[in-house]
Structure 1
Amino acid sequence: MTTTPIADQVADLREKVAEQLPAEALKVFGAEQAELAVAEPPSGIAEPGTPMPDASLLDVRSRPVTLDQARAGRPAVVVFYRGAWCPYCNLALRTYQRELVAELDERGVVMIAVSPQKPDGSLGIVEANDLTYTVLSDPGNRIGRALGIVT
């Protein structure tokens, strides 16, 4: 299978977005990206090896589940995304499905995506992107806040 690096996919998406947005919006986004590129990492971000916090989450059918339950005793790759409305998130989640999930599965590792959006948004992203891995909602971004990754 020939794959396109995610960085190249993002660059293509950026070009398409730039054609659709007003110049003043692009200027604001560009300024924010420039600030982020030179900024120090925020304090309070979890360090490698920090145990993953757990919380009561919701699956795509609004049923309560924890990360520990979703893992079912297996190691996991947990990714965080903003929501179904984010084109960059959709691109990444599709790429994970296409290029990562089968490899993880072969190794007994489960993939889990977490977002603060409501379960119906999570269901929508699963259906729109044909995702086979677990997608969970974290109302209030509790796990993201505990890890220090909410901006």
Structure 2
Amino acid sequence: MTSSASAAPLRAKFRELEEERERTWEPAALAVNINQRTTLIRDHGKAASVVKTGDVLPPLTLSALDGSMVSLDDLVAKGPAVLVFFRFAGCPACNIALPHYRDTLWPELKASGIPLLAISPQPKALLSEIATRHDLPFPVATDTGLKLSRALGLTYTFDEPSRQSALAKGGKSEALNGLEDTWELPKPAGIVLGPGGGGRFADVAPYWMARTERAHVLAALGLEKGDASHAA
């Protein structure tokens, strides 16, 4: 049974994170973060290639942390499946979202026999930290070379201030996505796949401090009444 804290909407948890940053971050660092998100919001509606409900996903196979290969076709062989795209293991917002899905979404999916796959482009050696830290019961896979994320139009590239900020902290593009000097990550997304790889529901957040709410995934699956639109 989930606690009232874990069941709180993700947007409320992210607001708490935002308020904590406003209290503790240096103004210049906060401005870099906010300006990058503002740019992503501005440009999000211009991206015609972003995956949407009704699109058919490419039949790719991803490598899971346990060494197995996960085919998108196999995931939906017996019914629908849920994909959750996230950025990387050290992302604070991802460390809020994934345990939230573990506690509030996964139990109902498991009871209904619906698989959930969490996906990040980060190399497995680093990506495994988030699965271990939160004892995630659903598989986590790496999207090598951002192949699936790019095909779905999910990726964005750091603006120059964000790149310089990451470099100043010792960050490397390869540690985020396995690619040299690309500074490219997926926007968070929640996708419900049906048989044949068709998207029964696709919700792409314009930036990382917004994520698909549990209720919208369940509504898209017919497991809960409610509006399946995005709640920022």
TM-score of the aligned structures, taking structure 1 as reference length: 0.88
Q: Give the corresponding residue for 1:128.
A: 133
Matched residue, 2:19 = 15
CA contact (8 A) 1:61 1:120 kept: no
Offset at residue 36 of structure 1 (A): 3.1
**How many Å separate the matches in 2 of 1:57 and 1:121?**
16
Structure (1 or 2) with the greater helix fraction: 1
Select which of 8, 25, 30 maps to 2:29: 25
Aligned to 1:145: 150
Decide whether the 8 Å contact of 1:61 with 1:119 is kept in 2: no
The secondary structure found in structure 2 opposite 1:57 is strand
Summarize deviations over 1:47-73 as a string: whole Å, max 9, x none. Answer: 211122232321113443333345563
Q: Say if 2:57 is the partner of 1:52.
A: yes
Stretches of structure 2 that go unaligned for 5 or more consecutive residues are: 157-232
Displacement over 6 Å in runs of 4+? none
SS at match of 2:145: helix
Deviations 1:97-119 (A, max 9, x none): 01000111122211110000111
Q: Distance in 1 between matches of 2:75 and 2:134?
A: 20
Deviation at 1:7, TM superposition (A): 0.6
Task: Name the aligned partner's letter for residue 102 of structure 2.
Answer: Q
1:65 is matched with 70
C-alpha distance in 1 between matches for 2:23 and 2:76:
41
Tell me the residue number matched to 2:120: 115
Matched residue SS, 1:79: strand
Q: Are 2:121 and 2:144, in contact at CA under 8 Å, matched by a contact in 1?
A: yes
Q: Match of 1:131, SS?
A: coil
Aligned length: 151
Where do 5+ consecutive residues of structure 1 fail to align?
none
Quote the sequence identity (%).
30
The answer (yes or no) to whether the contact 1:61–1:123 under 8 Å persists in 2 is no
Give SS of 1:121's match: helix
Give 1:128's aligned amino acid: R
Distance 1:65 1:46 in 2: 20
Tell me, yes or no, if the aligned pair for 2:49 and 2:153 is still in contact at 8 Å: yes
In the alignment, structure 1 residue 106 sits paired with structure 2 residue 118: no
